[in-house]
Structures are given as C-alpha cells and as structure tokens.
Amino acid sequence: MNESFLRQHVLDRFLRYIAIDTQSSHERADAGIQPSTEGQIELGNLLVTELIQMGLTNTKIDENGYVLAHLPASTGLENKPSFGLCSHLDTAAEASGKNVKAQIVDKYDGSVIHLSEGHSIDPATDSALAACVGETIITSDGTTLLGADNKAGIAGIMTLVHYLTENPEIQHGPIEIVFSPDEETGHGMDRIPLEKITSKAFYTVDGGQVGEIETECFNAWKCDVVFTGIAAHLGTARGKMVNAVSMAASFVSALPARESPETTSGYEGYFCPLEINGSGETASVTVYLRDFDLSEMEKKLDRVDVFATAIEAQFPGGKVSVTRTKQYLNMKEKLDRAPHVLELLKRAAKNAGVATSMSPIRGGTDGSRLTEMGIPTPNIFTGGHNFHSRIEWASLEQMTAMVKTLIELAKVWGE
C-alpha cells in the first residue's frame, strides 16, 4: 500500500471539502426542510462529480440531499456480500463552518497550538493531542470549526474509492456509499431511501481517536411533562390558586442533580431538563433521559412518573401529565446479533496495523438509527478530535490510518 499516496490524497480531499460551508440548520430541519442548507447540496454535487470521474457511473444526489453510489465488485466477486459506508455532509450548529482556513502544523512538537481570537489547543489538557508529537496536525484558524466532523470521514471514503479504482488488482466485493444530510440536527436518517439500499451491514465513518470503534450508544427517551394549575386573581388567590410555574419549578428541582449530563460520564445515564415553558395556568418541561441499559431506562421513566405524582400531591388541585417518546435505542443489542460485522472491522484494522479499542457513544449517530432500521452499523474512527468547536483538530497520520483500515475492510469483505 502506497502510504504517501494515501496521505496526500486524503489531505487534498479534506481541504477541498472543508472549504464548502455545510453547517446545517436545526430550525429548517425541524420544519421538514431537507437538506436544511444549500451548502450541503453544493458538497453533495461535488462528490457526485468526483465519483463519476472515478468511474462510478451509477451515482446521484436525490431530492433530499442523499448521495448514493455503488462501487462494483472486482471481476468474479460480484456475488460476495456488499457492505456500506456512510458519512454526513453537514457540520454542527455550535460553531461556524464558513470560510474555514485550515492551518497545518508539520511535525508537531508538543507545544500549545495558538489560534486567533485567543483560542488555543493545549496538550496539557488535551491528552489526545499530547500523544501526537511528530504528527501532522490540522486545525482551523480559531474563527470557525474545522469540519473534520464529518469531512474527514468523507475524505476517507472518497480516497478509498480512488485507491480501489486505480488499483484494480485489489480484490473486493460490492460497496455501497451514502453521504447523508443533516446528521447534526438529528434528522440524518429521516428520508434515507432504504428501498435503494441492498447491503445488510453498514459502517458510519464518523468517529474520533485512531483505533476507536463504537458499537454502543445511549437508549434515548424524552418526557414531555405538562403541569395544569388553577388561575385566580392574585389579590384573592389564597386557598384557590395553583401556580403551574411553581409546579414546574418544583419538578425540575426534584430531578436528581447527581444524574445530570454535567455530573456523569462513561456508562452513567442521566436526566436532563432541556426546555421549560409556561405561565400560571399551564407550564411544561421537556426532560431528556439517557441510559445504556434498557432496564435502567425503564426505571428512569418510572421515576419521572413518581416525581410527577409527588408534585400533584404537593399542589392539591393541580394536575401533572407525562408523555413518553422514544428517540433512539442502544445499537449494541442488534450489533451483538450480527457479530461478523464487528469481527470483519477488527480484522481489517489489525491488517492495517491499527490497534483497536471499544468505547461507548454518549449520544446517538446515524449508525444507531440505521441499526434500529435493521442494518447493523458500528462507527469507525476518522482521526478528528474536539468536534463541534473552534479547537477541532485532526491528525493526518490518523486520517491515513482510517483510509488503510477502509481498504483492508474492502478486502476482508471480499474474502
């Protein structure tokens, strides 16, 4: 495998893709507009053009902004099972993705990397960066995010296609490629054209640290809790008024502070009140519940009911109702039922000389949604770090390790 070829190509592609502003819009995505922003179509069109130039004639972007492509199998391997690779076109809302100016630090010496506007990336507090001495580090100039989430993944998949089409002697089965819009808004899989997808397994290429494979994510529910009080003239409210605002406030105070996003990590779940609205007569609170374990999630849902009942008792005459909505499920259970998907990925990483580690995702991904739809989809590292922020960075060596792993993945699926 020609390492310098892969390095140069993945870098060139990455720099080309981050130059296009693809920040998605929660507001527009929530209103059903997909893709939520024009830039995602621009990037999608560029990718289609490049894929067609590489000989993938059966490639297009659909009306919702999904880029679909098929890389045909090597001659004689047409009947091997196909697998899919997926990355997302958009970048996060937390930091601008416009006019990204990449800075490249060659042979990183382990010192603080200074960006504009007082931002810096400090290896003393960023152990992943501290481990990258001698590597090539790519950052933004500090005024925007970098866009490694997820253009490092896109660049990796595109470099894989380039490499396989230029080196037809490498034996591989059929590969499907999906670049999806609006992942960061939670709508990435809303309109995925499942009927056009034939692979029984996918991999999202949307992770971070080199070697990290993610097969577990939260189970996620939300509870909409509505408090109905009794209105009265404030001057004569004694013994009559039941204040819905006070009910909502008491409910939020009852949630366990030691089980919040601010106080938990790793495998710990949480309650998070994320929205509150209302006035004296009615008020509502939306609580997000997260847990890796489904039976623990059941307990959390029951505890919300217990808190609600306690508020009713505390405010006689007031009413509390709780509506539960499932958001997504931990993909682990379904991935465990298709162990070959993970085994092939681990074998590919090993063949690429990459040591793997497993870590849980404290969130959901397009992969967890795809897994729920019946297509087991673990997540592969990209070499990007500090996603969704101005101090986002990527290691070119780690990105190259991603491409090498993808090439080996193509080979092991063709065996």
Catalytic residue among 21, 90, 259, 366: 90
Contact 231, 241 (CB under 8 A): yes
| C-alpha–C-alpha distance, residues 58 and 46, integer Å | 15
- From the list 57-65, 148-156, 189-197, 321-329, the region that binds Zn ion by CB under 5 A is 148-156
> Quick one: 174 or 188, whose CB is closer to Zn ion?
188
> Quick one: 186 or 211, whose CB is closer to Zn ion?
186
- Sole binder of Zn ion in the list 36, 150, 377, 405 (CB under 5 A): 150
- The region, left, alpha or beta by phi > 0 then psi within -120 to 50, assigned to residue 392 is beta
Beta carbon of residue 28, minimum distance to Zn ion (angstroms, whole number): 19
Beta carbon of residue 195, minimum distance to Zn ion (angstroms, whole number): 25
Q: Is 183 a catalytic site residue?
A: yes
Beta carbon of residue 387, minimum distance to Zn ion (angstroms, whole number): 6
Catalytic residue among 21, 135, 176, 183: 183
Q: What does the angle CA 28 – CA 29 – CA 31 come to, to the nearest 5 degrees?
A: 65
Residue 149 binds Zn ion, judged by CB under 5 A: yes
Residue 90 binds Zn ion, judged by CB under 5 A: no
| C-alpha–C-alpha distance, residues 368 and 360, integer Å | 12
Nearest Cα residue to 94 out of 388, 392, 390: 388
Sign of torsion over alpha carbons 222, 228, 234, 240: negative
Beta carbon of residue 388, minimum distance to Zn ion (angstroms, whole number): 9
- From the list 5-13, 127-135, 141-149, 270-278, the region that binds Zn ion by CB under 5 A is 141-149
Q: Is 90 a catalytic site residue?
A: yes
- Tell me, residue by residue from 180 to 219, as one string, x for binding to Zn ion by CB under 5 A and - for no binding: --------------------------x-------------
> Quick one: 34 or 150, whose CB is closer to Zn ion?
150
Question: How far lies 253's CA from each of 166, 250, 272, 285, in Å?
Answer: 61, 5, 11, 12
Total residues contacting Zn ion (rule CB under 5 A)? 3
> Quick one: 176 or 206, whose CB is closer to Zn ion?
206
Q: What does the angle CA 316 – CA 318 – CA 321 come to, to the nearest 5 degrees?
A: 130
Sign of torsion over alpha carbons 194, 196, 201, 203: negative
Contact 29, 182 (CB under 8 A): yes
Residue 291 binds Zn ion, judged by CB under 5 A: no
Residue ranges binding Zn ion (CB under 5 A) = 149-150, 206
